[in-house]
Structure formats: structure tokens, C-alpha cells
Amino acid sequence: MFTIFAEHNCRDTIVFYSMSGKAQLDTDYTLSGTPGQVTIPADQSSATVTLHALNNARTKAAPAKMALQPGADYKLGNPKKATVALLPH
């Protein structure tokens, strides 16, 4: 699960992100919501994107990396990136 935080959020804010890494969307995992964006509701301080691992034939761990992207309605703080490792099973 990736959690994106905001300070002083008085209106809905759509935050854009990209995914990279050896783990592939729809092959190794799916994401909640609309891939590439998440909405932090007005008067809320965060929103989450849940990564759901899929059964696959991988024999080694594969990273899935999220990187927040710039947007007109927000400024990025740190950290801007996060990584999870999908382990074989």
C-alpha cells in the first residue's frame, strides 16, 4: 500500500504518479483506483493506492516503484518515491 499525504487540503486534489520496476502492472500486480492518479479528498490529509500482487511464475523478487509526478495544483515534498518488492510464491 502506498499512502500519499497532503497538508492544508481544502479541496479535492488529484495527485499523479508513475510506476516502474521489474514488476509489471496487470502481470505481477494490480492497483486500486485509476492507475496513474489518486484523489486526496477535500479536508483529508491522505489517500492510498493499494497494490495487489497476482500469482505469477516469477522465481526472484521484483520491485514495483512509485514516483510522484508534478502537478499544477500541488507541490511535491519528500519522499517522492517508494518501492515495494513482490516476492515469488
Residue-wise pLDDT tens digits, 18-69: 999 999 999 999 999 999 999 999 999 999 999 999 987 778 889 999 999 9
Which of 22, 31, 28 lies closest to 57, judged by CA? 28
Q: Where are the domains of the chain?
A: 2-86
Cβ(31)–Cβ(19) below 8 Å = yes
Question: pLDDT value at position 8?
Answer: 80
Architecture of the CATH domain 2-86: Sandwich (2.60)
Question: pLDDT value at position 9?
Answer: 83
The amino acid at 75: K
5 has pLDDT over 80: yes
